[in-house]
Amino acid sequence: MYFLDNNSGIATMPPLKETQSTTPLWFTEGDGHKGISWPGEDWFNIQQAEQLALLEAAGIRPDKGKLNQLTLAIRAIIGQEALLKTQALAEIAAAGKGAQKKARTHLGLGKLATQDGIQEATLHRKGIVQLNSSPRSADETTAATPKAVNDRVNAVVDKAPSDLDTLNKLAKAISNNPKFAENVMQILSQKLAKNENGADIPDKNQFIKNLGLTETVDCAKNALDKRTGGSVNGNLHVTQSVHIGDNDSGLRANGDGNVAFYANNAKVASWNNDRLHWLKSVEIDGTINTHSNLHISWGGRTAVYQENGDVTGPIWGGALSSWLNMQINNRGAKNTAHLATNGWWKCGDSGLIRQWGITPPLNAGQIYTVSLPCPVPHAIFSANATVKYKGIAPEGNLGTYVEIVGKSLIISADYTRTGIKAPRTWELVCY
């Protein structure tokens, strides 16, 4: 049990508000007419104060890591103030004769249940004597029961038949042989001596085998020494916990098919046949190898790392690869081009087309319709052409004229008296 332990609390309990009802009220989730019940700070503070008072009465200090302190407190208070059934009124006896006398008075027994008025018997005085059923007791303050006497006699006779149940009959049975004792001692010398404690057993291995203890001895030889440790080659069945280091760290049974990791008495992880659940931080210096997709869940959301490198998660609305493709497609079609002497380039977003090329050598005054490498979808924006010739013509410059006719480009060579033939480089923009 522990008190409120976060930054939302205050160090002093607020005063309780006035009582609103003397009739017990109960929590409800609402019925359409009345809203959901809410306890408020008074109810929580009362519950916490009651529980803290219970621990204080039992002399127990709140411990956040222990979840059975209320049970321990109730037991402690009961142990201090009540008589336990399992103690059979031993608490009154431990309190002394004064407490015993008061108890007898309260029960109306007077001296009926005491030995106050009768003296105990001794060798020289009559009185109360306690019976003793032990056949070998040397106590002179108790009296042997008939059973104890019979047991002792039977032990001496040792269930002898009627012909040997007295000393006289026994003497006749051995023919009053004066060397009987010597003969008996000779036989006894062949027996094991009690005070040797087995040291005089000639074949100890056979002795162990005869007792059926061979397997037990083998187990003892292979047992782990808790002082030095060792190796276990077979199964090891642990029903509670395995401590590592001290008593508050190690492995503990955590229900059927579940094992928990504890460190400093705090649960840090658990595992079962389905998963490993880690409650604290994990530091990994090496590589994480998985044989399935890696799922990461937190806050009600899950991301999955696929084996092909793709990632799915709510932030992408599915797979990251699909999200990237969608972003690329939303930006328009890809740019395309035909890179050649007579070639073109088309913008995927706007549809704008740039074309270029070189005409064959043209004679002066020749009119040439360009064979465009890419058909014009709609119209030509602009066009230009330049003569491809090094130097100056003998009788004037070589001129070039460009005319746009619909979706066609027409180039005209200037009328000069030179006989030079020269190609024209051209370029246009269309859509």
The yes-or-no verdict on residue 25 having pLDDT over 80 is yes
**Residue 398 pLDDT grade (very low, low, confident, very high; cuts 50, 70, 90):** low
* Strand bridging mode 311-313 / 301-305: antiparallel
> Quick one: pLDDT at residue 395?
54
Give the tens place of pLDDT for each residue, 56-83.
999 999 999 999 999 999 888 887 767 7
Mean pLDDT taken over the chain: 84
Asked if residues 386 and 424 have their Cβ atoms less than 8 Å apart, the reply is yes
Helix axis angle for 40-58 and 69-81, nearest 10°, is 50
User: What Cα–Cα distance (Å) separates residue 186 from each residue in 170, 258, 298?
Assistant: 20, 66, 87
* Strand bridging mode 130-132 / 142-144: parallel
**Residue 105 pLDDT grade (very low, low, confident, very high; cuts 50, 70, 90):** confident
Q: Which of 288-302, 321-335, 343-357 has the lowest mean pLDDT?
A: 321-335
As a whole number, mean pLDDT of residues 299-307 equals: 90
The yes-or-no verdict on residue 300 having pLDDT over 70 is yes
> Quick one: pLDDT at residue 53?
95
**Rounded to an integer, what distance in angstroms lies between the CA atom of residue 263 and that of residue 247?**
10
> Which is more confidently placed, 181 or 92?
92
As a whole number, mean pLDDT of residues 223-244 equals: 76
Give the tens place of pLDDT for each residue, 135-160.
788 888 888 898 888 877 777 666 66
> Quick one: pLDDT at residue 312?
93
> Quick one: pLDDT at residue 278?
83
The yes-or-no verdict on residue 229 having pLDDT over 90 is no
Instruction: For the chain, give the percent of residues with pLDDT over 70.
Output: 89
